[in-house]
Amino acid sequence: MLDDRIYTINGNEVKLKIEHNSKRSSEFYGWNYVINGRSIIHGDKSILSNWQQIIKDDKYNYERFIGFVFINGDNVSELPLNTSKDGIDVNSNIYKIIQKHMMSAIEKTKEYFKDSEQSIQYKKPISEIQELKAALNKKYNADVGRESFEICLNKARSVK
């Protein structure tokens, strides 16, 4: 568990919990909403939780992100439930405050989701790529890229 915070918003207890590399099932990847002990939404990665805003930075890998929003309150009319009580009312004032806390919690834990890999891309003439494919005995451009990178990296390390 990375983050476990409790807030009181309009008299309601709101607990945010973020996990990293959890052993939970992939159905929980994303945001999960539990209101008064009742699971409302599992693994949300939609506009409801501003997921596109979360994943916009490609330096971080939120593939295994699991966040829980536990909301407890005695006055049901104050809770961010929709009218059928099976979803979130995104226009609820309390939910707008909760979303700000969710974004803050992600910001505070984002280093745990830092991606350890990046890609390198470059363009070269097709004839040169074909020539290198033949020399390295590779079928795909991506394999040529990986192999040529390894050769170059090993050469750079041997110079040190």
Please give the domain boundaries of the chain with CATH numbers for all domains: 3-113 (3.30.230.10), 126-159 (no CATH)
pLDDT tens digits along 94-142: 999 999 999 888 888 888 888 888 888 889 999 999 999 999 999 999 9
Report the 3 state secondary structure along the chain.
CCEEEEEEECCEEEEEEEECCCCCCHHHCEEEEEECCEEEEEEECCHHHCHHHHCCCCCECCCCCEEEEEEECCCHHHCCECCCCCCECCCCHHHHHHHHHHHHHHHHHHHHHECCCCCCCCCCCHHHHHHHHHHHCCCCHHHHHHHHHHHHHHHHHHHC
pLDDT of residue 6: 87
pLDDT tens digits along 11-56: 888 999 988 778 888 899 999 999 999 999 999 999 899 888 877 7
